[in-house]
Structure 1
Amino acid sequence: MRTQVAIIGGGPAGLLLGQLLGLHGIDTIIIERQSKAHVLSRIRAGVLEQGLVQLLERAGVADRMHAEGLPHEGTIVAHGATEFRVDFRALTGTSVMVYGQTEVTRDLYAAREQLGAPTLFEAQNVALHDIDSDTPRVTLTAAGQEITITCDYIAGCDGFHGPSRQAIPQDKRREFEKVYPFGWLGILSETPPVHHELIYSGSDQGFALCSMRSHRLSRYYVQCDVTDHVDNWSDDRFWDRLRASIPDAFAQSLVTGPSIEKSIAPLRSFVCEPMRWGRLFLCGDAAHIVPPTGAKGLNLAASDVHYLSTALIARYSDGDDHALEQYSHNALARVWKAERFSWWFTTLLHRFPDQTPFDLRMQQAEVAFLSENAAAQRSMAENYVGLPY
């Protein structure tokens, strides 16, 4: 098989890249190790920066998002007795969109099928070859057949555990990681959200987040031990912890119900440098991980797709390689800023096991300063709605 760009990974990053390239007449093949049904069953966050909203508009897949998504013009931040709202619209002139990542993925699959572009599902033994040459290729097994795909470029959108990053020689990449000593226990429930905007809360019980997928579907999180197990958390225990971790006014109005999904996610920060090696370009979780506190995972993948799609379109339209040469530099400049914001927001509201009384007072002072200072709130709002590409 032959294509111009082989895309490893059929999640939202790979799909969005394929859609943007396809609209410019660039051939792609997407290689996905899971079935389409499995990809669409994954529950993920759905706070979209304006940059991602605009990319989806450019890709021609924004109609359902605009019809069903929930624009959010601010968020609530609480810590102990301190509670305040950060007004995104007033501070930045824009907002974010709450629209589930699963729905983004569903829209992109529908667009790809309409485009008639191929996707190879349930691909096994995926391997990258000759990525530092002019003739890279990908080998895999699908539907019982051994397949070789020759291409001009490979986009590694296959997540942290995929083969793309590992194809870069170990002595040619540098990896930075911070593992946080806690996780998030999250549940999905068919209940109305406790508030029309997200609530980020810190307390003696630890961190909590009140989010939503729609007007009838809520997503809630509480901080837990990273070694804990969901079997230790009954629904009643979860709701009791959540009530104890958010301001009283919201706790009293919280509507509870049976969980329809429950999971524990570890938190870490991770960056791989460089994000390019030869004809291989890393996108999304293949190159970087952020703690979910700042809602940057999907959005960072989207910014990678912006830089890479722009560069590839320039390459194929007029032979200009400059943006491709600069891809890793440009993408990493934005990645590290998002890593900083996610790290800062995580340390602001979580309880760490080794915090001293001084550390706790500093945390309280930081929240108090944020609540009182317009410049500090503007900085938070600018990062939350998304820094420019």
Structure 2
Amino acid sequence: MFIRQVSRLPRRAIKSYSTAAEPVAAATAHKLSESRTLEGNTSKHSSNNLAKFYQIPAEDKKTLFTHGGLPKSFEKQVKTFGETCLMVREPALEVIDYIKSSNLSNPTVRYVLYGDDGVGKSLVMAHIIHYGFQNGFLLVHVPWVANWFKRPKETANSSSIEGFIDLPFDAAGWLVHFKTQNAKLLSTLDLKTTKDYVWSKRETTPSGSTLSELIEHGITRVKFASDTIAALIAELKQHSTAGKCKIMVAVDGYNAFFHPITRIVADNKAKISPNKVTLTQPFLDITNYDWCNGVCVLSVDKLASSENYRESFMPRYLLDKEGFEHLDPFVPIRVDNFNEKEFRSCIDYYLDRRWIQNCEQGFDEELKFLSASNPYRLMNICAPL
């Protein structure tokens, strides 16, 4: 069995508890040092770092994930531990190695992360996003597509495309996310609009405006946020193909774009499909292969699908025919449950943070049995009561 350190124990109990823990800590000191790596440069992560935790600096975490990208349950753990540590896993290293060895002047390669629930696809993607951030990629990151179609903040009829629905506040929120992640690069890269954008009789964004000005317009004028995203994506593709920047597209729950059922309801009470939402097309455009100097890292997930599409986690099933043909050809990257080394490293990390306490021999085997080495289930079992 195992118990968690409890801060509200009486002073005497805490003293005896800590004293009892000292031999355990001493016995596992060597193991605990092996569960971490001091290498924070993701470009230098290699097989030598596999199954080890590396720390994302607080400033990087704030820049990259303030507006989403890390699962909520993991965010709670981060807040408790006072640090953001990701495990270096094989799928992330595989994608990073492919990116480093690829010729970006060729058409954009699409990598699709897939796997069962709770295996860590979002955290693998977070590792890859951190690599992109550290290596000068402009990030086009959608933390969780399904939020737009299942929990939209507000809907409105599109003023630019008849019969389509805008998600103005979700679109403005994404523009804030894009601005936050790319603020440093946007201030140094000379990226400007290539044509005039007319929003209304009195509002235009003239050719030659900076992309920052375009983004600010979408944030301050929420009504035009969806159309601003479409303009921004089109401009980014042109600038990337021209060699003025390089782009990493990262979309979690990408298959949500291809499922017929959403919770968005039109004026006539009919449910709207994703292809009738103005936010959909720009992100389908940028995950096409008709541009270069970039890379697309996408994930497919059963939880992003409607309830009728949860029998399998394979890409062909989740993307359906339309989505599969849109991405074909792509490179599938499978994410699995922890292997033995990863499981032991995770247990050592929890011991290091005093999140669990070793009481009896074999407690780790019990955790392994209860969680089936699934990262999410293991985290939940060890979560606060």
State the TM-score, normalizing by the size of structure 1.
Answer: 0.23
- Between Structure 1 and Structure 2, the one with more strand by share is 1
* Pair member with larger Rg: 2
- Between Structure 1 and Structure 2, the one with more helix by share is 2
